[in-house]
């Protein structure tokens, strides 16, 4: 499915904003949308792709698509149900603990 097939429920223009303010704005916007809704974000910060990708992975929300349009990065993010986010968070925490144990054992 391409980004042209996806309709965003909300749009947020963060062009000109830099991290951490950019990420704070994304988090605040996510607090006001419902589970299953899609938020389109436009940003110019060169760190936005890595910051937003990391945040979606850590928060349990879904990065549907990311592409560049002119001088803007465009992100399509889907708010996942909190239950799914909590499960993903527990799994990530478990993986992080296991990786930490492996690193400690190898030292």
pLDDT tens digit string along 47-64?
999 999 999 999 999 999
- pTM for the full predicted model: 0.71
With bands split at pLDDT 50, 70 and 90, how would you rate the model's confidence at 83? low
Which distant-in-sequence residues (6+ apart) come within 8 Å of 25 by Cβ?
12, 14, 17
Q: Other C-beta atoms within 10 Å of 66: how many?
A: 17
Domain borders along the chain are 7-106
Domain covering 7-106 assigned CATH 3.30.110.40 in the classification: yes
């Amino acid at each position: 499915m391409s980004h042209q097939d996806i309709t965003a429920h909300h749009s947020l223009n963060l062009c000109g904003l830099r991290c951490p303010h950019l990420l704070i704005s994304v988090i605040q916007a996510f607090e006001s949308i419902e589970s299953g809704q899609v938020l389109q974000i436009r940003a110019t910060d060169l760190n936005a792709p890595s910051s937003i990708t990391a945040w979606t992975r850590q928060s349990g929300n879904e990065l549907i698509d990311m592409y560049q349009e002119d001088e803007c990065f465009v992100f399509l993010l889907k708010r996942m149900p909190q239950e799914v986010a909590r499960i993903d968070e527990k799994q990530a925490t478990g993986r992080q603990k296991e990786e930490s144990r492996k690193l400690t054992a190898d030292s």
